[in-house]
Structure formats: C-alpha cells, structure tokens
Structure 1
Amino acid sequence: MKTIAVDMDGVLADVYRQFIDMHFQDTGEHLVAEAIRGLKEREAFPLLEKHVHTPGFFENAPLIPGAKEALQVIHERYKVFIVSAATEFPRSLQEKQAWLSRHFPFISWQRMVFCGSKEIIRTDIMIDDHFKNLDAFEGETYLFTQPHNENASPGRHLRVGSWQELARLLVTDVKAHPEG
C-alpha cells in the first residue's frame, strides 16, 4: 500500500480563512484574495504572529472544502500520514491534534506527525502548499494551491486546486495501478 504525507495548514485546515477572519475582527479591514495573491503569508497577514499565538487559532480553523470526504476515500486506498510543521508554535501541537481528531477520526494518533522540518519525511507521495517542503521531498509531489503559491510555476510538482481534483487523481491512479 502506498503512503501519503498530507500537510495540515493550508491543505486540510483553512488557515487563510482563519487569518482573514481574525484580521477583520482585529482591524475591521477586509482582506481580499486579489490583494494577497503571490505574497508570503507573513507579508499578506501583518498580524500573523499575534494570531498564531492566540489560544484556539489552530484548533478552530475551518476545514478546506471537500477535505474530509476526499481524505476518507483516499484513506481507504493509501496509508495516510498527516505531517504538520508544528514545533515552531508549541501551543499548536495540542490544538492540531485535537483538530485532527475531531475532523478526521479515521486518522489514528500514530499517523499524526508533528515536526519542524519535513525533509526527513519519506513517504511515496507528499501533498503540501509550500515549495520548501515539496522541493526537498524525493517522491511524487502535489502542490495544493493557496494564494501564496498561486503565481509561482509548480515546477516538478503537480498543482491541484481542490480536494475533489486531488481525490480524482489519486483514486484513478490507484485503480490504474492496484498493486501500488
């Protein structure tokens, strides 16, 4: 059975929506996607440091549309690991585990990997929204589109824009190569 490393923030958890909502709550200013497209997260969200240190930020992030249903189907055909860079924000460890357990109860705690750098990850496939994680990965890579990477060329990574698209690609691939 093939293995997949799935990023959490920006792939499963809609942290962009969380940042935009919290920015509005703090400033009354509406951030629009066009204004932050192509900007690194720290440039797009001037209050990012405050927000990621706010209790509940990671635990209350909304789901990316379609993530739960698609990952359930993928999980039936692949060995899925959730791999999240979490040690930069120590509070996030507990919150991310609680969030994953609530939204993805079919992913056991043994398949939740919280780390700093993802360069040690050795699965067959990696799904992430950051080039820094995908570029160091030796297997098959899928770049999940987010505003910060939208204007960049995906290079060797296959760009995906939704969980529905990703599930179609991965489930079709499994049917074509069932021994995988």
Structure 2
Amino acid sequence: MIRPCFAVDIDNVLGRAEPEVQRLFQELTGRLWPVGLYGSAGGLDASHLAPELLEEIFSRFHQESIPRLPLFPGAKLALTLIHRRYRIIIVTARRPYSRPQTLRWLEEHGLPFDALYHTEEKTDIPESITAAIDDHPHHIQAYRALDRQVFVMDQPWNRAIPHADVIRVTGWDALLQWLHVRHLQQWPKDIPESPSFRQLFSSHLNVPSLTAAGVSTELVKP
C-alpha cells in the first residue's frame, strides 16, 4: 500500500531562516533591520523594500545562506516518527538552482524524506497530499482550499489566519504532542507498526496527555 503524503516546508518550518535574511539586509544596506518587518518570504512579500534589494537578498540567501541555517528543535525526531506512516515530501519555494545545497542540508541533518520539490505553487506538485505544515499564508490558504489537514508553524506573519480549520503549532514538539493524542482522520489504520504509534510517541515524549504537557486541549477537539 502506498503511504499518504505529508508535505513539509523548509524555511522557518524546518530551518530558522529569518535571522539569516536579517543579516543579509544589514550587510547590503548598512542599516538595522526595520522594526515590524519579518525576514521570511511571507514577511518580505508584503514589505515595501525596493525590488532590487529583495532580489539581492533572495539571491544571496540561495547562494550562501542555506548551509548555515540551524534546524528547529525537535524537527528530526518529528519527521522520523511521522515517516513511519507517511511519505514525507519536502516542498519549498526556493529557487531550483538551490537544489544541490538544499539536498546537502537535508542530508547533513539526517532528515528523512522521500521527495524534494521546488515550486512556487505547492499544490501543483504530482502528489496526493493528505497533510501539510507550512508558515507562508499563501501556501497555507492553497492547502486549505484543497481541504487538506494543515498545520501552521506559528510565526508572526501568519497569525491573521483563522484557526477554525487549521492546527497551529508552536514547534515540532507541539506537533508531536497533538499527534500523540489524536491521529489525523486519514491516518491509515492498516499500516502495521511495532510498537504502536501511541506507544512510540509516549516513549519519546513521556506525556500522557496534552493537558499534562501544558498544551491546550482545545487543539484536539473534533
């Protein structure tokens, strides 16, 4: 049986990209980072920075910044556990010429994945996506439009997105805690696993419930 797909973004979801964008801005302009501006694609898309400056930031980010991005805490464990049930497809809006350094970054951090796509429209890839995690409002809305289960990696630039049909998580540990007490509706029950999925999460997280872990149980209501 073919496993369903879990789509995972990279920048500001797996890797912490914003500080690197801020560094590039300061190098290029000699100015401090503007207060209230966010150095993500989601933040820069809505900025009023000069197009030439934006292009230079993105160009240098793709050429020199990718290898130095730190991995978010808990990302490797989360992907390892999710990979037991899902095909993990990495879907990024990075430019295609950054593919070699992107692959090296994924491999150097030991992240499990089955495919890597570079695309500006993430729902156009030839995969049947069941669930996705992203931080960019544009891609989140696109997944929602297809009625997929969407996890929003909480960032300041996506907090205007309503919570009604998405699960907002503050990090990878929070995502694991959510999955620990409630599987996605589409989670295939016939895929064998030993130990059980619940036991697997329990052994790593050692939390009997979201409440005990200090996470609001409102996240897991039907």
With the length of structure 2 as denominator, give the TM-score of the two structures: 0.65
Residue 120 of structure 1 pairs with residue 124 of structure 2: yes
Partner of residue 97, structure 1: 103
CA distance, structure 2, for counterparts of residue 131 and residue 175 of structure 1: 22
What displacement does 1:29 show? 4.9
Partner of residue 189, structure 2: 179
Residue 80 of structure 1 pairs with residue 81 of structure 2: no
Residue 40 of structure 1 pairs with residue 43 of structure 2: yes
Give yes or no for contact 1:4–1:80 (8 Å, CA) kept in 2: yes
Q: Secondary structure at the match of 2:157?
A: coil
Give yes or no for contact 2:9–2:92 (8 Å, CA) kept in 1: yes
With the length of structure 1 as denominator, give the TM-score of the two structures: 0.78
List alignment gaps of at least 5 residues for structure 2. Answer: 191-222
What displacement does 1:162 show? 0.8
CA distance, structure 2, for counterparts of residue 154 and residue 161 of structure 1: 13
Could you say which structure has the greater relative contact order, defined with CA pairs below 8 angstroms and 6 or more residues apart? 1
Structure 1 residues 60 and 52, CA gap change in structure 2 (3 angstroms) = farther
Partner of residue 179, structure 2: 170
Q: Which moved more, 1:160-169 or 1:144-153?
A: 144-153
5 Å-filtered alignment, 1:128-147, equals: 128-137=134-143, 138=146, 139-147=148-156
Partner of residue 62, structure 1: 70
**2:10 aligned partner, one-letter code:** M
Higher Rg of the two aligned structures: 2
Q: Secondary structure at the match of 2:182?
A: helix
What displacement does 1:144 show? 1.1
What displacement does 1:27 show? 5.1
Aligned length: 175
What displacement does 1:175 show? 9.4
